[in-house]
Structure formats: C-alpha cells, structure tokens
Amino acid sequence: MTPIVTVSDENYLPGLTALHNSFLRNSADGFEFWAIIRGSDDFIAHVESLGINTIVEPHFPIDRYPTSKRYPEELPLFYWRLLVPGLFLESDYSFFIDCDSLILQSLKPLLDGGTHGHPIAATRSNSSLGQEYGIRGSDECKTSRFGPMSSLYLFNREQWMQKRVFERCIEAMKSDMVFHTVAQGLLQYVIGSNWYEWPWQVQAHAGHDTMQKYPKEQIYTLHFMGTNPWCEFSNPAFVTEGKLKARELWNTYA
C-alpha cells in the first residue's frame, strides 16, 4: 500500500477531514492515508477516530526552523513533508499533499508514471512573487518559477536517499540562506533541476485557470491557495467565480 501523507494541526482539522473524505471516495484503492499531526489529546483522538493513521509530532533534527519576511513565525508543519520518504521505508514511493487540498481522482496513474529517476515529481511552482530563496541580509533573491510546487509531491525513496536530499536540506537550513516560501524554497534550492515535472493541470489551484481550462478528468488534486475554504474570504474584492465554484466542490467533501 502506497502512503498518501498530509500534515495538520487543530486549525486545519476541517481541511484534514475533507481531504480524507476525498481520499476515501476517489483514491483509496491501493493506497493508505496518513496524517502527521500535533495538537491536544482530544484533537489526536478525534483524528484517529476518523480512521486516519497518525504520526504525532515527529522528531526533526534541527533546533530552529528557518523563517522569512513572508513567513515570520516558525512553521514546523511546513517542513515535516520532508520527513515523508524517511518515515515510510517499506514503500518505494509515497505522496505528500497539502491539507488544504482535495483528491479528485485516483492517484494511481501518477504513481505508475513514477519520477523518471528523480527524487520527486511535482507540478511547477506558480509563486505570485517568484521569490523562493536568497542570502540572509541581502535584498536579492532567486526567482524560481520553474521549481517544484510544494503542495503535491511524489517521492522516490531510493533516489531521495541516494541523493541525500533530506541531509542537504538540513545543512541548508543551518546556513545563511533564507527561504521566502519556507519548505518550497528550501527544496528548490537543494534539489535544483533534479525533479520530474508533471503537466500543470495535474494539480489545479482554486481561483486559477486550471479548473476552467482543463477537463476535470485531467485534474488529480485541487489545492486552495490563500484563504482556506472553511474560512471567510480575507478580501472579498478578490473573490472570483472560479474560487466560489472550487469552494462549492470542497463543501461536498467537508
């Protein structure tokens, strides 16, 4: 069974619930669902009562998680996705998916396609600012619109271990680098061009043109960027028809 893994705390419980429901409905055959979580005993018990396999607050070998101007607070959950290949040593492949996402169809074709000899497969980053990483104290940063998007990964465990990707990430986290998009910028800095790019439409983003431009059968996951679908829109002026339709779809799994 290939693991599909997400991370969550109590604030993301509505997202975790909907994501798990979409997994059960659309991609349970041949896969198992896991959540790396932290929170109160009641939260952990509730997640486990949903039938979700859990890993509670795993050890991460660093004293302080890097922050950036865009993300000034430490965000351990953002970096925990990098633990996935090392947590599932019995699996040749594993998926990571952000908790503010839905699985719209079986991920088996993506698994069958593999990573073409690379440590990961992913869609391309569409960071609105294009800022991913730079040197601390410098105004210059690397624009990496062509690096992997962090909200959906397929990990190739053998290649990940062989290329020492996690160890290199830890080394970079202890350096003078700043990662503007935290884990996404970190992995883009470490992995460079050594990744396999899925077609853009594999992962739709709520409010972007993928939901309108491509047939639904070409879209495997839907990722909600910006305001989470269980929250009020932070700026109603930027609400589009596409975002409203995506939220309606999310409500069918909530």
205-230 pLDDT, tens per residue?
Answer: 886 767 777 888 889 999 998 788 99
Task: Report residue 36 CA to chain centroid gap.
Answer: 12
pLDDT at 215: 81
Provide the mean pLDDT of the chain: 90
Task: Report residue 3 CA to chain centroid gap.
Answer: 14
Beta strand 120-122 with 196-197 is parallel
Nearest to 99 by CA among 223, 238, 237: 223
Adjacent-strand bridge partners of 8: 37
> Measured between alpha carbons, how far is residue 234 from residues 101, 199, 227 in Å?
18, 30, 6
156-177 pLDDT, tens per residue?
Answer: 999 999 999 999 999 999 998 8
> What are the tokens at 156?
């190739």
Residues 159 and 196: beta-carbon distance below 8 Å: no
> What are the tokens at 122?
């992913």
DSSP H or E stretch at residue 96: strand 93-97
- Kindly report the CATH class assigned to 2-251: alpha beta
Q: What are the structural domain ranges in the chain?
A: 2-251
Q: How much is the average pLDDT of 51-64?
A: 96
> Measured between alpha carbons, how far is residue 251 from residues 156, 164, 225, 229 in Å?
33, 40, 16, 8
What pTM did the predictor assign?
0.93
101-122 pLDDT, tens per residue?
Answer: 999 999 999 999 999 999 999 9
d(CA 232, CA 14): 13
